[in-house]
């Protein structure tokens, strides 16, 4: 009796191969930045770490600005996937805000790519470079999302009506940004009790009644 051959795995499409190479290159760039700093993330080092050529890394991103924008887009997509998994948009607004903070801080503690984002941002701010622009845009998008959740929570009667929604959104963003930068200063910082305390403090501060 002849043993049957295992079914051949379908060949990946060009688009699938392109997506995979970009993910690997971005992961390599983030790993280099997280471990060795921004200066280590040359196209040559990125390509070598990802198993590709320097030329492919340069072709994918074109410049440091392109690398930053691609990394921001990937991190935003991953964060949104995690929020979708928690059905954040389907939660009452106050619970959605707390879930957003919870997901962000859990991701920050575990994800080298998230830390690489803030290393890049710190460098762009320190250099007063034009590379600050994509970070500013990303943070404005987060602020608007949080502001809309605060307004929805007030309409639901769950968040105190006297709270300024824009100020509340900025305060939450500043909390997350400050903890992110503190983790860069002190990589051994235990975020777990800080995460729990932050969630409790936000609930107590915002909850109506």
User: How is 64-125 classified by DSSP, letter by letter?
Assistant: HHHHHHHHHHHHHHHHHHHHHHTTGGGS-HHHHHHHHHHHHHHHHHH-HHHHHHHHHHHHHH
- 54 part of a folded domain: yes
Longest Cα–Cα distance of the chain, Å, equals 79
- Output the domain CATH number for residue 54: 1.10.10
State the pLDDT at residue 161.
96
| Nearest-5° Cα angle at 121, 117 to 127 | 150
pLDDT confidence of residue 93: 95
Number of domains in the chain: 2
Q: What is the pLDDT along the chain (209 residues), one digit of tens a residue?
A: 455 555 556 666 767 777 788 888 888 888 888 888 888 888 889 888 988 887 888 888 888 788 878 887 887 788 788 888 888 889 999 999 999 999 889 888 777 677 887 888 887 777 766 777 878 888 888 899 999 999 999 999 999 999 999 999 999 999 998 998 888 888 888 989 999 999 999 999 999 97
DSSP summary character for residue 52: S
Domain of residue 131 covers 64-206
């Amino acid at each position: 009796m002849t043993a049957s051959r295992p079914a051949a795995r379908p060949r990946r499409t060009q688009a699938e191969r392109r997506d995979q190479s970009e993910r690997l290159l971005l992961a390599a760039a983030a790993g280099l930045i997280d471990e060795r700093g921004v200066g280590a993330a040359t196209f040559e080092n990125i390509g070598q770490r990802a198993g590709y050529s320097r030329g492919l890394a340069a072709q994918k991103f074109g410049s440091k600005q392109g690398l930053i924008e691609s990394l921001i887009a990937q991190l935003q997509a991953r964060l949104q996937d995690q929020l979708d998994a928690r059905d954040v948009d389907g939660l009452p607004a106050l619970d959605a805000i707390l879930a957003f903070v919870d997901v962000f801080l859990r991701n920050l503690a575990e994800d080298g790519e998230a830390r690489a984002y803030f290393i890049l941002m710190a460098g762009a701010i320190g250099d007063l470079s034009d590379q600050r622009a994509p970070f500013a845009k990303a943070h404005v998008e987060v602020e608007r999302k949080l502001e809309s959740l605060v307004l929805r929570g007030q309409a639901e009667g769950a968040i105190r009506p006297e709270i300024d929604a824009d100020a509340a959104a900025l305060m939450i963003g500043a909390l997350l940004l400050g903890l992110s930068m503190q983790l860069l200063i002190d990589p051994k910082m235990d975020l777990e009790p800080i995460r729990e305390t932050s969630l409790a403090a936000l609930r107590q501060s915002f909850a109506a009644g």
